[in-house]
Amino acid sequence: MKYYSTNKRVTGVSLQDAVVKGLAEDKGLFMPNSIKVLPQSFFDTIENLSFQEIAYTVADAFFGEDVEAAALKEIVYDTLNFDVPLVHVNDNIYSLELYHGPTLAFKDVGGRFMSRLLGYFIQKQGDDTKVNVLVATSGDTGSAVANGFLGVKGIHVYVLYPKGLVSPIQECQFTTLGQNITALEVDGTFDDCQALVKSAFMDEELNAKLKLTSANSINVARFLPQSFYYFYAYAQLKKISKTAAENMVMCVPSGNFGNITAGLFGKQMGLPVKRFIAANNRNDIFLQYLQTGDYKPRPSVSTIANAMDVGDPSNFARVLDLYGGEHAAIASEISGVSYTDEQIAETLKSCFAATNYLLDPHGAVGYGALQEKLEANETGIFMETAHPAKFLETVEKIIGSKVEIPEKLQEFMKGTKQSLELSKDFETFKKYLLSL
Ligand SMILES: *Cc1c(COP(=O)(O)O)cnc(C)c1O
């Protein structure tokens, strides 16, 4: 499969180059030349397949031409060594719990897949130049990517995160690892971190001296695997009720729009999703676009659903490309909502009181959107993108009681924080990279 850039000036790129480069030279995002429609027989019996079997079928459609079957199977099976259960919450609303991986957020899926695929390509190349993975994080990406790559030979990961704007638990998931992981604490916002990473990729001098790649959801190897669990969610719902599965609405708490874009790809592959809801916090650039047809990025504001504090969602370029730039087509497929911190807190609190189901602030945005927007004949699935304990202080304050911290998280909290402070000025960052 070849890949082209959403800016259309770069075409015919191999999977390996797309994965290693991350972003195309014309600053666009890579898109596969074609999206295969999966056979009806796959959907007819999908409820009898395991998550790994479903994921391998989907992975084969994207990567089968470029990665040997046995290797791809191993990458998929190894990536998904945890379940993604569909859990009933209330009435016709289900939670797809994406937080059972090692860092308790959905980004484990893409992070683990990408690290394994990159490892495969590096090994195949036999080139021993070190690959530097740069990743900007608003909280969860850093830990998923860092843990996915931890100890992988030939790769060093630099995690850029906004100082003071990620939760203490999130922070210790990528600052305590050591080995081939370096945490860079940036005096700025997530957008500043993302801008630093993007500038680094565009800088000729840096790229001449260092092999740089990105592990943000702009990377095809991180974002495409996220489509796996949309199929698995459908399989699980179909097992519960065929009628419900025929009227399935997917609601995705969105920041950079990588997760929802993977779902949109799934639909193009034949997955019967009736419609999508992009759920936002106060950073409602996408909702504004739906309402006005104008895409106007603006600086992000910080909210209690901090992993969605994005003012210029990078995958918007992919959404546009997928629908030929047609606002009407996009608006008929996806609707949007935007909630304030107060509304998110109220949803989290009332859901817990009514159902005993504890949402995290991001999942609460998704659940709230379904509560508000779902029609009577529809069944809604929201992506529960992280475990509530990752946002301990916020969640405990809202529900007024203690939240149990899973064993996996407690382990991270035992380590010592190691990080380098950095200003948001690109020249300083560049000097640092050149000194490596
Ligand atoms: C990253 C993240 C999101 C946003 O996902 P995008 O793919 O960037 O839209 C939502 N919730 C949580 C918990 C996250 O970590």
pLDDT reported for residue 20: 86
pLDDT of residue 226: 97
d(CA 283, CA 298): 9
Query: Residue 122 has what pLDDT?
Result: 83
Distances (CA, A) of 217 to 81, 113, 223, 407: 21, 12, 5, 28
Ligand 1: lining residues by beta carbon, under 6 Å:
105, 107, 139-140, 217, 253-259, 307-308, 362, 385-386
Confidence of residue 87 (pLDDT cuts 50, 70, 90): very high
Mutate to test the pocket of ligand 1, among 191, 264, 308, 383 (most ligand atoms within 8 A of CB): 308
Q: How far is CA 147 from CA 140, 378, 405, in A?
A: 11, 37, 19
What are 3's strand-pairing partners?
Answer: 13, 32
274 three-state secondary structure:
coil
Q: What is the pLDDT of residue 123?
A: 82
Q: What's the full length of the chain, in residues?
A: 436
CA dist 348 and 367 (Å) reads 9
Task: Kindly report, residue by residue over 107-136, the tens digit of the pLDDT.
Answer: 999 999 999 999 898 888 777 788 899 999
Ligand 1 atom nearest to 226, measured from its CA: 7
Amino acid occupying residue 330: I
Cα 123 to averaged position of ligand 1 atoms, centre (Å): 30
Ligand 1 atom closest to 223 (CA): 7
Q: Hey, whose CA ends up nearest to atom 8 of ligand 1? A: 256
d(CA 74, CA 127): 22
| pLDDT for residue 21 | 83
Query: Inter-axis angle of helices 341-355 and 361-373, to 10 degrees?
Result: 80
What percent of the chain has a predicted confidence (pLDDT) above 90?
A: 85
CA of 17 to the centre of ligand 1 (A): 25
Residue 201's pLDDT band (cuts 50, 70, 90): confident
Which 8-state DSSP code applies to residue 213? E
Look up residue 274 and give its two tokens: 């009736």
Interior angle at CA 141, CA 390 and CA 192, nearest 5: 110
d(CA 268, CA 262): 10
User: For the segment 131-178, what is each residue's pLDDT rounded down to a tens digit?
Assistant: 899 999 987 889 999 999 998 878 999 999 999 998 888 899 999 999
Q: Which helix (H) or strand (E) holds 242?
A: helix 242-246
pLDDT at 278: 98
> Which one-letter amino acid corresponds to residue 295?
Y
Among protein residues, the one whose CA lies closest to atom 14 of ligand 1: 307
Q: How far is CA 230 from CA 109, 251, 363, in A?
A: 12, 11, 16
Locate 300 and state its tokens. Answer: 């992000």
d(C-alpha 202, C-alpha 25), whole Å: 7
> Which pLDDT band holds residue 431 (cuts at 50, 70, 90)?
very high
C-alpha 134/C-alpha 422 separation (Å) is 14
Between CA 67 and CA 70, with CA 68 as vertex, the angle to 5 degrees is 125
Q: Which of 259, 255, 310, 254 is nearest to 109 (CA)?
A: 259
Q: Which of the two residues, 276 and 414, has the higher pLDDT score? A: 276
pLDDT band at 277 (very low <50, low <70, confident <90, very high): very high
- Average pLDDT over the chain, rounded to whole? 95
Instruction: Convert 26-36 to b/e letters by CB count within 10 Å (16 or more is b).
Output: eebbbbbeebe
pLDDT at 167: 84
Identify the band that residue 94 occupies on the pLDDT scale cut at 50, 70 and 90.
Answer: very high
DSSP secondary structure, 93-130, as one string: EEEEE---STTSBTHHHHHHHHHHHHHHHHHHHT--SP
Q: Is the pLDDT of residue 433 over 90?
A: yes
Question: Domains in the chain, ordered, with CATH?
Answer: 83-105+223-403 (3.40.50.1100)
Q: Residue 162 is inside which H or E element, if any?
A: strand 155-162
List residues with catalytic annotation: 107
Beta carbons of 155 and 209 less than 8 angstroms apart = no
Secondary structure letter of residue 23 according to DSSP: B
**Contact, 343 vs 330, CB < 8 A?**
no
Amino acid at 121: F
Q: What is the per-residue pLDDT for 216?
A: 74
> How far does residue 140's CA lie from ligand 1's centre (Å)?
8
Q: Calculate how far, in angstroms, residue 308's C-alpha sits from the geometric centre of ligand 1.
A: 6
For residues 353-376, average pLDDT = 98
Distance CA 269, CA 227 (A): 10
Q: Provide the edge-to-edge strand list for the sheet that holds 131-136.
A: 211-214, 131-136, 155-162, 181-187, 420-423
pLDDT of residue 157: 95
Closest CA to 432 of 191, 184, 213, 198: 184
Span from the CA of 265 to the centroid of ligand 1 (angstroms): 17
Q: What's residue 154's pLDDT? A: 85
